[in-house]
Structure 1
Amino acid sequence: MIFPNDLINLQKIYDQVIGEIHLFKESIILIKAWCYYESRTLAGMSCSLISPDLGSTSLLCKQTFLSPKIGILRYNSRQDLQFRDSIKFSGKKSRHQQISRVSSPNLCRTRSLVINCSDNPQNVDLPRYYSKKEKKPFPVPIVELRRAARERMKSSKGQPKRSAPPPKNGLLVQRMIPLAYAVLNARTSLINNLNKLIKVVPVQACKYCNEIHVGPVGHPFRSCQGQNSSIRNGKHEWVDARVEDIFIQIEAFHLYDRLGKRIPHEERFSVPRLPALIELCIQAGVDLPDFPTKRRRKPIIRISKSEFIDADESELPDLPPEEPKPVLLAEIPDREIIPPSNEQEILSLAEETLQSWEKMRSGANRLMKMYPVRVCGYCPEIHVGPTGHKAQNCGAFKHQQRNGQHGWQTAVLDDLIPPRYVWHVPNLQEPMLQKELRNFYGQAPAVVEICVQAGAAVPEQYKPTMRLDVGIPSSVREAEMVV
């Protein structure tokens, strides 16, 4: 028999349980992630749960493999899940900035989620590797280029025609001349320092393919695609590497007149070739006696888009005595290289090498914005100049349909100075990597990895690809348990 008092108590217990269930449902926060890339991580994520009844609760979430596009959902007993309302971005709408979700005023007893992302994201993917069977994309889409050209035509319609600024008119950009000398000296210093560092930091290179590894032993990953790789099941054969394997120098044709006619196919063997970075510095104002170039003192006279004549410079006065130009460094021969003797010298040499690497890349990037550089979209051929050459020496995919001609497009910095990415060794005490834990290792340019193993600090811009905050499992069994 149930008495009325018992019914009242049961009713109170039932109401309390139902209330807790509704409160639990309303406080559920769903985070749904999707992306077009793989293995993205939202690092340093801190979440805070705000409730009018329970107060505010903060918790620190561990790193989770999420995509760059994050949609924050909220469950409410009165409304279904939705993305649109109550999403606020602080600053620019970047996936590395703060995203906050605030409850709507017309919804009662709702919860909100605040995600504070780190400024230096970890586990960022490497630059995409393009197969030899596909063309590299344009740095700026062709649609954007056409739209910008139409805008320029509209804005210049009815306006007096202006003379072209340097270097389009044949003159040098005077403020870029010291930068060109600094870039060339940084390149020479980088080569000399690498010749010394590889004496104390072992670097391995595959005998059959172009893959390298920084460490006393090569990595165990079967990724060789060289000669007879199928017989060896993709296994590498490691030998000692040289500086040419670490710092790739892509060659280009030297132009006596950078505004002259394009190099025809018949003259491809009579025009000298040299590293493209040196050719860029020469066109920017560096004078090398072995590679003379034409210097103009007056702007050219443009006849048409592709025709011009040089202005008469006979009436100009004689050149005043030139100021002393910066001294160019010389490369040290192999027989004169002296490796560092102690740890302090190794550390200072590694830091100097990193500074030369960054100075060379940043300076070359500034020069490329002023002096155009072209690259073939199918092969790594580089040409420093406003238009590419006409040599039909492209042997990339379907070159027969193009009669060996290159598909020229605007080059980026990685086309001029390719960074050789290598596997980052997280523990120098145990340099041998395990092939079962490949997904947990990061990568870095070979120059950066050599300097880091020599004791230099890791630069900020290379930390995302090196996966420094990823915990490496101690065994394969532990790796299988990772979600």
Structure 2
Amino acid sequence: MDSGSVYLQLNRITFSHCKGRDFDILKHSTQQGLSLLDSLKKTCNFKLRLRNSSQHSTHHVQSLVVNCNHPQNADFPRYHSKKEKKPFPIPIVELRRAARERFKKSKSQPRGPVPPPKRGLVVQRLVPLAYSVFNARITLINNLKKLLKVVPVNSCKWCSEIHVGPVGHPFKSCRGPQASMRRGLHEWGEAVLEDVLIQVEAYHLYDRLGNRIPHEERFSVPRIPAVVELCIQAGVDLPGYPTKRRRKPIIRIGKKEFIDADESELPDPDQEAKKPEILTEISNFEILPPSSKEDTILLAEETLKVWEEMREGAKRLMKMYPVRACGYCPEVHVGPTGHKAQNCGAHKHQQRNGQHGWQAAVLDDLIPPKYVWHVPYVDKPLENDLRNFYGQAPAVVELCVQAGADVPEQYKPTMRLDVGIPSNVREAEMVV
């Protein structure tokens, strides 16, 4: 429900004892204890207004005014077909309008300073944040490996859909090969870490201001997780992935041409300087599940914390270090401009000769939150006829919630926790 005032008109209701009295309405609740009024009491304020439709009529119109300050139920993320291009984060019309405004204001004002990444430098105040995001990702992976030992997760053998719970859901939503022969039903199997946490890879750049990667060198450039590449460009030093660190701004000699400044007069960098600690992933053979229920709850709460820490930190880094995403396929490139590799296999890629349609990336392009159905009762499987009453949440969040962690506030609207689920199909048909 959106914030604002919602008017529920209950017309043609006859009350023989309504003069000067207050009424309790909508008290009827389902067997599971949630009615419309009960679901709105938590976050909304109520005002009851009564007025007569005519002076000599016994029929009255009752208006229930609901002032909701916090959203309760939000729509699910829109599913974009592979045959259409992803929308721009900011519409083109607004970008052009903002560019015209900046051009008008810049006529009588001096040019502002250029951000350090465009001059080839690293933002020093964001270096600790880059290490924090990198370590949060490693901690998240290690914790998810442990939680998968105690919380069952099912994945479809034909498509990329997963379900957190002992039994897969019965919804006919499979889009994999031969889905029409199976009438959209899934074939469930045991899921792995890559099914829960999607690893988006990107090319590693030795010099982020260097030439764009041509199509012929697409196999010679290493590919690493995009979040790791973003942390490397933001200041994280990894032994296996060297990168160029400039200590002086570059010298521009053209729009796309520059030369490096002379750094011979600068003292040599201190190799013995203390750097933040870098965590490492635990192998699958060393993973031990939590020994008790209390340890599982603590592990789930820590996993949710590092999940939000990784996402919030990556979002801050993306504001300073640009990330590009293809509008047709899941390809991501960390850098000011996208690469030239013609490896886009999305819809109508022949017309583009396999080239990517680069645009500004959002956080969900870098760290995709794989949405799954929220299971309100773990010991009871979902029902196909009650699909409209169930909510959704990212797979990591749903996994931690089923392990015992509290539901974060920002995910409650899509999880539809305040929706009363009917006890049977007949009761669901009576819902208007």
Shorter-chain TM range is 0.7 to 0.9
CA contact (8 A) 1:47 1:60 kept: no
Alignment of 1:6-21 (within 5 A): none
CA distance in 2, matches of 1:374, 1:461: 26
CA contact (8 A) 1:206 1:236 kept: yes
Shift in CA distance, 177/114, structure 1 to aligned 2, threshold 3 Å: farther
Alignment-mate amino acid for residue 143 of structure 1: V
The total of aligned residue pairs comes to: 401
CA contact (8 A) 1:48 1:56 kept: no
Alignment of 1:170-319 (within 5 A): 170-319=120-269
Q: Does 1:457 align with 2:382?
A: no
Instruction: Find 2:338's aligned residue among 388, 409, 420.
Output: 388
Alignment-mate amino acid for residue 424 of structure 2: S
TM-score by length of 2: 0.87
Alignment-mate amino acid for residue 464 of structure 1: P
Aligned to 1:473: 422
1:287-332 deviation digits (Å, cap 9, x = unpaired): 0011100000000111222111111111112234664111111100
Alignment-mate amino acid for residue 123 of structure 1: N
SS at match of 1:143: helix
Deviation, 1:368, is 0.6
CA distance in 2, matches of 1:309, 1:98: 63
Shift in CA distance, 136/270, structure 1 to aligned 2, threshold 3 Å: same
Instruction: Find 1:154's aligned residue among 100, 104, 117.
Output: 104
CA distance in 2, matches of 1:330, 1:465: 34
Shift in CA distance, 48/127, structure 1 to aligned 2, threshold 3 Å: closer
Alignment of 1:61-460 (within 5 A): 63=36, 115-320=65-270, 323-430=273-380, 432-460=381-409
CA distance in 2, matches of 1:58, 1:269: 73
Shift in CA distance, 41/165, structure 1 to aligned 2, threshold 3 Å: closer
1:122-153 deviation digits (Å, cap 9, x = unpaired): 22111111111111111111121122222222
Deviation, 1:168, is 1.3
Whichever of the two has the greater Rg, that structure is: 1
Alignment-mate amino acid for residue 468 of structure 1: L
Deviation, 1:58, is 7.7
CA contact (8 A) 1:48 1:57 kept: no
CA distance in 1, matches of 2:130, 2:254: 31
CA RMSD of aligned residues (A): 2.8
Aligned-residue sequence identity (percent) comes to 69
CA contact (8 A) 1:376 1:408 kept: yes
Deviation, 1:154, is 2.2
Which deviates more, 254-263 or 117-126? Answer: 117-126
Shift in CA distance, 478/316, structure 1 to aligned 2, threshold 3 Å: same
SS at match of 1:167: helix
CA contact (8 A) 2:3 2:69 kept: no
CA contact (8 A) 1:422 1:443 kept: yes
Alignment-mate amino acid for residue 349 of structure 1: L
Shift in CA distance, 464/371, structure 1 to aligned 2, threshold 3 Å: same
Shift in CA distance, 97/321, structure 1 to aligned 2, threshold 3 Å: farther
SS at match of 2:76: coil
TM-score by length of 1: 0.78
CA contact (8 A) 1:246 1:420 kept: yes
Deviation, 1:340, is 0.5
Shift in CA distance, 116/168, structure 1 to aligned 2, threshold 3 Å: farther
Deviation, 1:249, is 0.7
Deviation, 1:429, is 2.6
Shift in CA distance, 446/467, structure 1 to aligned 2, threshold 3 Å: same
CA distance in 1, matches of 2:165, 2:403: 11
CA contact (8 A) 2:5 2:65 kept: no
Deviation, 1:282, is 0.3
CA contact (8 A) 2:3 2:70 kept: no
1:193-236 deviation digits (Å, cap 9, x = unpaired): 00000100000000110000001110111111112212211111
CA contact (8 A) 1:43 1:121 kept: no
Highest relative contact order (Cα 8 Å, sep 6+), 1 or 2?
2
SS at match of 2:68: coil
Alignment-mate amino acid for residue 220 of structure 2: S
SS at match of 1:168: helix
CA contact (8 A) 1:388 1:408 kept: yes
Structure 2 alignment gaps of length 5 or more: 11-18, 27-34, 38-42, 50-60
Deviation, 1:167, is 1.4
Alignment-mate amino acid for residue 380 of structure 1: P
SS at match of 1:210: coil
CA distance in 2, matches of 1:99, 1:161: 53
CA contact (8 A) 1:41 1:63 kept: no
CA contact (8 A) 2:88 2:359 kept: yes
Deviation, 1:433, is 0.7
